[in-house]
Amino acid sequence: MILDYKDKYLSNRLLVIKSEPELEFLTAYIYKLEKQLWFEASCNDLLLCLAKHRFDGNRCYYYVINLITKQVLALPPIPKPEGFTITGFIYNNSVNDIVDKQVSFSYRLVMLKVWASEAHIFSSDTGRWSVVGYSKEFQVARFPSSAVSYKGLLLWCGTNGRLLAFDLYNSTGSRCFEIEQPIEWEQLMKQPIELGRMNFIDCLGLGVSQGCLKICQIIVQSHICVWKFKDYYNKGGGEWCLQHKVSLKEFVSEKSLWLLLTQSFFITVLGFHSINGDILYLGIRSKVLICNLRRKTLELYCNAPEANHYAASFAFNSVLPCWPTPIPSSLKNAAY
């Protein structure tokens, strides 16, 4: 996991969270990339990056980087978007020739123009942009704002727990729809607060763990709840199943960590552990905590150096696959 946060001078800083020991060797490489690129999105072992210092009129330059093989793919320059945008990225690989192992690398880059309720989608198959509108009533959550890829879908979380989904490899064309929040979502919000009056900001998180889509709701001063999305293909859209509901009073930790969790006015769900479905990574002030929902424990993973306590963090999850995602040989560029 790569954590992008702001320091006390409001400059962007990076912190590599090595949840998998195999990724430790990538740390130096990621910090080297950060000098030239902004990290925009991730999908498994690939990062979508934007060049910091390359300008050509109103065009911007994106790169796809495989963190494992250090291969770099330069995407065709695209028009610089106007207004506030959130970027997502998803890819699809297929082997066309079993003998020659020719790999077809198909990707979609999605820019949400939040103020216009529009999604601008670039397809590598056509080399063109298309525009898909979505409901003006859907409010994309600012934290987390990172898109999550799941079973060919690219998803964003809404402020009320609903999801905005783009089926970008649908044979009938790009399709946009919403996934309703868990049934218990609003019910839990109405429950009495266990630890006093709620004066703080509730938070949520979206991610994939053990191959399952999960959403987290933290009712500050009360509960942490995690739902798993089940039977997406079998029941006409799937359903949410409550996996964890833990009262904050039940957590065991150093006193200072428990106070952080129960008294902090702003918490961010940085991500889910890719292998252990019971673990969440939480960002509270300048600290990164490991939250084990089954054991009901909090552990300090690390401190973010010189972090601004009141600036939110963005996390890009990098999952180590069984085999690195191949980038077509004809499109490879020299690694940074």
* Number of other CB atoms surrounding residue 94 within 10 Å: 9
Do 26 and 61 fall within a single domain?
Answer: yes
| Residue 12 scores a pLDDT above 50 | yes
Range 156-179 average pLDDT? 85
Q: How confident is the model at residue 265 (pLDDT cuts 50, 70, 90)?
A: low
> pTM for the complete prediction?
0.81
114: left (phi over 0), alpha (psi -120 to 50) or beta: alpha
Do 204 and 89 fall within a single domain?
Answer: no
CA dihedral 133, 137, 143, 144 (to 10 degrees): -50
Do 176 and 203 fall within a single domain?
Answer: no
Burial of residue 53 (CB within 10 Å: 0-12, 13-18, 19+) is exposed
| pLDDT of the residue at 200 | 45
Distance in angstroms (rounded) separating the CA atoms of residues 95 and 108: 18
Do 297 and 329 fall within a single domain?
Answer: no
Do 16 and 47 fall within a single domain?
Answer: yes
| pLDDT of the residue at 195 | 46
Domain count, the chain: 2
Higher pLDDT, 287 or 97: 287
State percent of the chain over pLDDT 90.
15
Q: What are the Cα distances from residue 34, in Å, to 29, 71, 302? A: 9, 16, 20
Do 146 and 204 fall within a single domain?
Answer: no
Judge contact between 300 and 254, C-beta under 8 A. yes
Q: Which residues are CB-neighbours of 49 under 8 A, at least 6 positions away?
A: 33, 37, 38, 39, 40, 62, 63, 64, 65
Distance in angstroms (rounded) separating the CA atoms of residues 281 and 269: 6
Judge contact between 157 and 215, C-beta under 8 A. yes
State percent of the chain over pLDDT 70.
67
Do 240 and 120 fall within a single domain?
Answer: no
| pLDDT of the residue at 259 | 66
Do 2 and 130 fall within a single domain?
Answer: yes
Question: Among 121-125, 238-242, 329-333, which range has the highest average pLDDT?
Answer: 238-242
Question: Among 21-30, 66-75, 93-102, 193-202, which range has the highest average pLDDT?
Answer: 66-75
Do 286 and 300 fall within a single domain?
Answer: yes
| pLDDT of the residue at 318 | 66
Range 240-253 average pLDDT? 87
Do 84 and 186 fall within a single domain?
Answer: no
pLDDT tens digits, one per residue of 276-319: 999 998 888 778 889 999 999 988 888 876 665 545 556 767 66
Average pLDDT of the chain is 76
Range 227-250 average pLDDT? 82
Do 153 and 194 fall within a single domain?
Answer: no
| pLDDT of the residue at 64 | 87
pLDDT tens digits, one per residue of 181-215: 998 887 766 655 554 444 445 678 899 999 899 99
Do 175 and 189 fall within a single domain?
Answer: no
Q: How confident is the model at residue 331 (pLDDT cuts 50, 70, 90)?
A: very low
| Residue 321 scores a pLDDT above 70 | no
| Residue 172 scores a pLDDT above 90 | no
> Which residue range is the domain that position 326 belongs to?
1-180+316-336
pLDDT tens digits, one per residue of 24-44: 666 677 777 777 788 888 888
| Residue 163 scores a pLDDT above 90 | yes
